[in-house]
Structure 1
């Protein structure tokens, strides 16, 4: 089962073998497509940046990808979901327009994607804790600031990455122009409860006897104590079916097939994604049950939330309520009416407009450079 888990405790579904992984001969079919994507997305501007490098963060070797048309642009670090659900191999499908306005950083976190085979799983397993991911992120931000000669960055956290990102914003606001949340988690247990109740309600409304039977069988969900991975997998199976992940879609194939055309990922890298997903979800998911920012009511950095109106993977109403209580130098919510949990792909134009209108001016005011 874990071989094909997507590794989102927030977004876990049992993906088919064809969605992420293929045999070597079948993968040859996609090699010409990857070459086309690579050429289209190649950065050719005089002051552009396009590089992938390895960084040691918290003692673990990790892979970092940086792309942008002008290295003078402000840096935007995307903290991917999961843990273990890397965005680097999917970024080609939405990120290129961002790169005209930001230097965009994708990073495979410890135990994830291309970073997974670089470290002994037995050695890093004890380190897979939210606080370590937070501190890895801080180390990476400081490295990026030195490497590209800037004072602050934009930090975007998506899904699990929003737990990491919000933790960084609370601890080191001095490093950030703003914190940007997407698929934001505020209270993990409440998140699961609301998502489950919505999914069960939809199953009943549509007369789906199979879904109702399976969902009722996992009650109480999420319950008390550590999270149960098997129960979570059942909930995600049906929440994805009803569009909690991607509005108007009953599966995630469009998303998880995107790495087949990624210039950044080989077939071996995609296998590492699968293996790292299984590793991180089994190691981390049970311990995340009590992660909550409900009592965090002040941040010393601007906060922008990009919320899918139809997101019931991380129900956006919970975040909206929390934003109403938050005190920050500046705060705003942009609602993506036709999105669920993946607005960067579901409504890419609206997401880009929000970044340009709501976020980028904050760097201009502060001054991006040292």
Structure 2
């Protein structure tokens, strides 16, 4: 959600420079990419490591599948944004997961590597929340058939938690559990509470510049469509005060990780930016009225992984929703030293929670 909004805000500034290049420069990060690729290579006899192009809802999309044992249950990570792919960052946290799950990273339609596979003019009109949900359902069915595995878990992060929870509500029969990380329940309430919290932090800090900029975007989110330029200002300061990553003033550590990803070339990283601009432009005006508050029952286990300091998707909203929810099993897992990125901020504890609270739901 963060990177996508910021990318859309600066897209016009970067477009001229990008088109002015006559030839792509040499990639200074290529040696690092090769080292990471080598150390993360799946070498177990029954392992799986492949990147595939699949067609979902009439659009070509890229998935990356990794696991030490293809007999393990499948865990699909649905990234945030919209457009903020996790495939190029997954190298930094995912490898331990792959010993107990077959992990699938999916670049959603119009995002990341999938952006390059389709005409943006044809994809843009299809960028609807319901289409993402149905793409995810098609993906689950495809994976079940390809790997002969019926045990599937979905983890939705940030915007991806809207997609994931919608899948759980519509097709709980496909899932052994749904895991929401940075769970979004109500977009307008999300933005309202996030702005209030950020202004409070700025006032406490005596940051007159931040207070002035934040007060100037009111009424936000207000009524009607969300405006990306206002969201970008809120995110600028909420990131500064640790709403994205606790106790950090910026997100450079996160946004730089793709530079040494074995799955992403410089051209893919540019496609990430271009896809963020496309998806935010098409989807952001639609998001304000998305609310899952009326989802009161899910017929599959629901587990939320929430950072205690998350005010990008404010944790209190998800906590209150979960307390009302009826489900075969429900659980809140708090990450006390995290904000919006527990898998990066507390990777050991995230893996421990997957082992303790999620993997046993698949049985032997």
Contact 1:186 1:293 in 2 (8 A): yes
> In structure 2, what is the Cα distance between the partners aligned to 1:134 and 1:280?
15
> In structure 2, what is the Cα distance between the partners aligned to 1:156 and 1:269?
24
Matches within 5 A, 1:38-117: 38-117=37-116
Question: Any gaps of 5 or more consecutive residues in structure 2?
Answer: none
Contact 2:335 2:342 in 1 (8 A): yes
Contact 2:8 2:280 in 1 (8 A): no
> In structure 1, what is the Cα distance between the partners aligned to 2:150 and 2:261?
31
Instruction: Show the counterpart of 2:294.
Output: 295
> In structure 2, what is the Cα distance between the partners aligned to 1:54 and 1:75?
18
> In structure 2, what is the Cα distance between the partners aligned to 1:125 and 1:28?
30
Contact 2:302 2:329 in 1 (8 A): yes
Contact 1:27 1:267 in 2 (8 A): no
Cα pair distance change 1:325/1:240, threshold 3 Å: same
The reply on whether 1:7 has 2:35 as its aligned counterpart is no
Cα pair distance change 1:289/1:343, threshold 3 Å: same
Question: Deviation digits for residues 23-53 of structure 1, max 9, x if unmatched?
Answer: 8876532111100000000000000000001
Question: Deviation digits for residues 236-291 of structure 1, max 9, x if unmatched?
Answer: 00000000000011111110100000000000000100100111101110111010
Match of 2:103, SS?
A: strand
> In structure 2, what is the Cα distance between the partners aligned to 1:236 and 1:83?
15
Matches within 5 A, 1:201-212: 201-212=200-211
Contact 2:8 2:276 in 1 (8 A): no
Contact 1:152 1:174 in 2 (8 A): no
Instruction: Show the counterpart of 2:312.
Output: 313
Instruction: Show the counterpart of 1:150.
Output: 149
> In structure 2, what is the Cα distance between the partners aligned to 1:264 and 1:97?
17
Contact 2:111 2:276 in 1 (8 A): yes
> In structure 1, what is the Cα distance between the partners aligned to 2:217 and 2:152?
42
Question: Any gaps of 5 or more consecutive residues in structure 1?
Answer: none
> In structure 1, what is the Cα distance between the partners aligned to 2:47 and 2:100?
11
Contact 1:12 1:232 in 2 (8 A): no
> In structure 1, what is the Cα distance between the partners aligned to 2:289 and 2:277?
21
Matches within 5 A, 1:167-316: 167-316=166-315
Instruction: Show the counterpart of 2:117.
Output: 118
Match of 2:75, SS?
A: strand
> In structure 1, what is the Cα distance between the partners aligned to 2:215 and 2:35?
47
> In structure 1, what is the Cα distance between the partners aligned to 2:128 and 2:43?
39
Question: Deviation digits for residues 204-223 of structure 1, max 9, x if unmatched?
Answer: 11011110110000011110
Instruction: Show the counterpart of 2:354.
Output: 355
Number of residues paired by the alignment? 356
Q: Could you list the structure 1 runs, at least 4 aligned residues long, displaced by more than 4 angstroms after superposition.
A: 11-17, 23-27
Scaled by the length of structure 2, the TM-score of the pair is 0.95
